Amino acid sequence: MDTRFRVYLATIVGAACWGLIGLFIAPLYDAGFTPWDAVTIRAVFTFAILILIMLVTSPKQLKTDWRDHLFFASAGVISIAFFNYFYFDVFAQSSLAIAVTLLYTGPIFVTLLSRIFFKEAITSRKMGALGLAVVGCGFVVGFFPYGEQAISLQVVLFGLLSGFFYALYSIFTKPVTKKYSVMTITTYVFFYTSVFMLLFSDTTQKMVLFQQTEVLVSALLLAFISTVAGYFFYTFGLKYLEASKASILATMEPLVAVLTGVLFLGEFLSFWQVIGIVLVLYAAILVVERKKKQPSIQQGM
């Protein structure tokens, strides 16, 4: 198999793994878990898988400077925990398509936050992307073209918050990306997410639900396919691709999520919502500047 083809395929597969998340979250909701519980389940199961992989394959990579754990903890508690919560809550209240589309306002927030924290320039290209994202969101939630909002303000707000907290991941992890591998960073980030969620959720009181085969399988697949495998394949692609190209391929995530919602979860999209989704995805692509090869861990769920 051609190397270039394998690289592109791995990147697309990684993004698609993230896009399948609705298939594994829906059974958890049906069993009685809340969005907050779903975050706990994803974090704990993911950390358990990651730490086992790291201990077996590369235990030396677990050695870190204790001062860097401030970045790991910030990314885990402030970004991962809350972006997942708002994302899962929007899915529970509306649809997977709307949830993933609003989540993909994240690159726009990255642009704005990078200007504040890293003094990165905001170009006309980025401003155009911001405008497209705003218009696209307007179509998705029903504000355009008739001015009749089909989605509640809470859903819109939570969707934008998912994008905002998603964007914070890049801000918190950027200072340590050159010191550690993506697997090291991800493992410690999910460690702190797990600790936080176990302390501030009552998911452990619902352990009896894991006696249901569908619940246990969904939890394992949520962690293994939609988190660990997604990061693995996407990161493999990043080793050989420019970040801009990888980001474009990552738009497979929302496309897969939208198709998953329509084909398997009984969701319906209007013509104008489809237009809005396309605009938001195009904005996410446009905001990525063409740079030299530079790995990034922003993309992905």
> Where are the domains positioned within the chain?
3-286
225, 300 in Cβ contact below 8 A?
Answer: no
Residue 129 has which token pair?
């992307």
How far apart CA 284 and CA 279 sit, in angstroms, is: 9
How far apart CA 108 and CA 98 sit, in angstroms, is: 17
Nearest one of 118, 130, 39 to 81, comparing CA atoms: 39
How far apart CA 132 and CA 143 sit, in angstroms, is: 14
Q: Digits of tens for pLDDT over the chain (301 positions)? A: 577 788 888 888 988 999 999 999 999 999 999 999 999 999 999 999 999 999 999 999 999 999 999 999 999 999 999 999 999 999 999 999 899 989 988 878 877 887 888 777 878 888 888 888 888 888 887 777 766 666 888 999 999 999 999 889 888 988 998 899 889 999 999 999 999 999 999 999 999 999 999 999 999 999 999 999 988 888 777 667 765 566 667 778 888 999 999 999 999 888 888 999 899 888 877 776 554 444 444 555 6
